[in-house]
Chains A and B, each alone.
Chain A
Amino acid sequence: LPQELQNITIKPKFDHTIQENKNLQKFYTDEIFFYLKEQEKKSTPLEFLENHSIPSNLRAKMIDWMVEVLCSYKCTDQTFFVAVRTMDFYFSKSEKQLEVSDLHLCGVTSMFIAAKYEEIHPMKLSVVYEKIAHKKLSTDQIKKKESEILQTIGFDLVGGTLFDMYSLILTNCLIESKLLEKNYKYL
């Protein structure tokens, strides 16, 4: 190597650790906390299964399956919470009575919406059609349901989820880093 090039030292990449980042987030903690609390009253879906003939154990099964799917596609935790919230919100707002057969379509579509909203690289519709729905639901069906869900819930996807709330609390009590060491991510 020529002399000049040898003298150049490559600096370590400029990047904050997550810790520093979380510290900065603290500046808005109060506002965000009260905003989320306000949102919780307004936008938490309540009594979502009352009008429909879907038993609660099937919904629970659906949510278990959602965890499986979203984990296998390496989605973030927040995506899962948004997906569940979207589905429940749709159930509570929907005026027509939904049958057990609708549950599969609703679950797949709310996962699709949540991934598009939250992920940097969301899964493609073709992947949803082939791998997740196993070609049992057509792409047209999914797209139609998507616009139906979005119009029913009035595009309200921002409202805070449980995950928002406790990740805020845990980071501010500095508990999260301790939990992460022990791999308690979902606690």
Chain B
Amino acid sequence: MNSIIQYQLYLRIENDGVFILSNKQIYDYQFEYNRIICDSQILYQIKDIIYYYMSVLENVRYIKIQKIGEGAYGIIYKAQDVQTQEIVALKKFKLSDYEGVPSCALREISILKQLNHPNIIKLISQIIINKKLHLVMNYYDKDLTEYLKFYHEEFHLKNIIYKILLAVEFIHSRKIIHRDLQPNNILVKNNEPVIIDFGLSRVFSPNLTPGVTQLWYRAPELLQNCHSYDYAIDMWSLGCIILEIALNKPLFMGQSEIHQLLLIKNLIDGDEWFKQNSQFAKFNNLFIDLINKLLQIDPTKRITSKQAIQHPFFQDQFAFIYNNE
């Protein structure tokens, strides 16, 4: 039995090949993991055989299992570490031939190396294979949007909000602006959030590009093409994210920049709007106060992450998001 499977697998590897990452040598094949798993239920045996074949090749480190996401920067794969059996995420950057290492990769790696915090993704290592730069990071399977599709206890939600704020405070106190905070960039594992994707983030400087952050979470000063913004843009995105956690859907879903501004304009007299809108009737007063302070149109009036952590909503243990009735 064993020998038959081995033989079949051997043929497969001959035909399809295996993509294996190594430090010294490059083996560039395609390997379809799923096809073999579907064929048979004895996954365990097959795994051993795969490792057997891989141990033949020297310096094997990671096998790609499947593609998770794709963006302008490159492709993210789910992969397995052969040595520790750990599942990791591999982020492959498209290295352009004429520009060398892309600037987003430069910033992401150098910034991630500085940030050592339980609620921020940890960079395990970075390797260059076949002239392509790969970042090896911890793997989490759920992001905040998927997490919110199911019902969760209220104190878990509050804990998540608080932990996100702590992580953002940590980022800001290192003179770094994240610039791409959105629910897709916050992963959740065991009710603990982890902030990822520092591809757009950078160290603060007086002159910056306004075209950052996803449209729904973009601060008004960015929509108006301001070149000298600061940490307050992250606080606006956080305000939108916290509201999304509580409402279970995004609040401002604009289709264009103008549309987004029109949706936001209600917040000019925020106090009144929050009182009148029936959507917010079920919320605790302290929570509405926190949201109102985060979603200020004027960035100089918006509270900082440090002030947000000290907000009475988090000081009071019994303050919940919704009114108890």
Q: A residues touching B (Cβ–Cβ < 8 Å)? A: 13-18, 20-21, 23-25, 27-28, 31-32, 35-36, 76, 78, 112-113, 116-118, 120, 122, 124-126, 139, 142-143, 146-147, 150, 154-160, 164
Instruction: Report A86 CB to chain B, min CB distance, Å.
Output: 11
Q: Please determine whether A14 and B110 come into contact, CB atoms closer than 8 angstroms.
A: no
Q: B residues touching A (Cβ–Cβ < 8 Å)? A: 98-103, 106-107, 109-111, 113-114, 126, 128, 172-176, 203-209, 220-221, 224, 226-232, 299-300, 304, 306-307
| B114 contact set on A, CB distance < 8 A | 158-159
Q: Please determine whether A116 and B175 come into contact, CB atoms closer than 8 angstroms.
A: no
Give the one of A13, A21, A124, A160 with max B CB within 10 A: A21
Task: Knowing A16-B221, A76-B205, A158-B110 are in contact, say whether A32-B99 is a contact too (CB < 8 A).
Answer: no
Contacting residue for A150 out of B101, B208, B224, B299, CB 8 A: B101
Q: Please determine whether B224 and A28 come into contact, CB atoms closer than 8 angstroms.
A: no
| B176 contact set on A, CB distance < 8 A | 158
A-B contact pairs, 18 of them (CB 8 A): A15-B221, A15-B227, A16-B299, A18-B228, A24-B231, A25-B204, A28-B173, A28-B175, A28-B306, A32-B173, A32-B174, A35-B175, A113-B106, A116-B106, A117-B110, A126-B98, A158-B111, A158-B176
**A-B contacts, CB under 8 A, total:** 111
Instruction: Report A19 CB to chain B, min CB distance, Å.
Output: 10
Instruction: Report A179 CB to chain B, min CB distance, Å.
Output: 15
| A18 contact set on B, CB distance < 8 A | 206, 228
Q: Please determine whether B226 and A155 come into contact, CB atoms closer than 8 angstroms.
A: no
Measured between alpha carbons, how far is A172 from B285 in the docked complex, in Å? 36
Instruction: Report B62 CB to chain A, min CB distance, Å.
Output: 19
Measured between alpha carbons, how far is A165 from B61 in the docked complex, in Å? 42
Measured between alpha carbons, how far is A155 from B299 in the docked complex, in Å? 33
Measured between alpha carbons, how far is A66 from B126 in the docked complex, in Å? 30
Instruction: Report B102 CB to chain A, min CB distance, Å.
Output: 8
Q: Please determine whether A125 and B207 come into contact, CB atoms closer than 8 angstroms.
A: no
Secondary structure of the B side of the interface? Answer: loop
Q: Please determine whether A24 and B126 come into contact, CB atoms closer than 8 angstroms.
A: no
CB closest residue in chain B, given A109: B100
Measured between alpha carbons, how far is A187 from B25 in the docked complex, in Å? 51
Instruction: Report B211 CB to chain A, min CB distance, Å.
Output: 10
Task: Knowing A16-B221, A125-B100, A146-B101 are in contact, say whether A158-B203 is a contact too (CB < 8 A).
Answer: yes
Contacting residue for B106 out of A13, A124, A125, A157, CB 8 A: A157
Q: Please determine whether B106 and A15 come into contact, CB atoms closer than 8 angstroms.
A: no
CB closest residue in chain A, given B297: A14
Q: Please determine whether B172 and A147 come into contact, CB atoms closer than 8 angstroms.
A: no
Instruction: Report B130 CB to chain A, min CB distance, Å.
Output: 13
Measured between alpha carbons, how far is A157 from B107 in the docked complex, in Å? 8
Q: Please determine whether A155 and B209 come into contact, CB atoms closer than 8 angstroms.
A: no
Task: Knowing A13-B224, A18-B206, A27-B306 are in contact, say whether A122-B103 is a contact too (CB < 8 A).
Answer: yes
What 7 A-B pairs are tightest by C-beta distance, nearest first?
Answer: A31-B173, A157-B110, A116-B103, A155-B109, A27-B304, A14-B224, A143-B100
| A143 contact set on B, CB distance < 8 A | 100
Q: Please determine whether B106 and A28 come into contact, CB atoms closer than 8 angstroms.
A: no
Contacting residue for A164 out of B110, B175, B208, CB 8 A: B175
Contacting residue for B230 out of A21, A147, A156, A159, CB 8 A: A21
Q: Please determine whether A35 and B99 come into contact, CB atoms closer than 8 angstroms.
A: no
Give the one of B176, B226, B230, B304 with max A CB within 10 A: B230
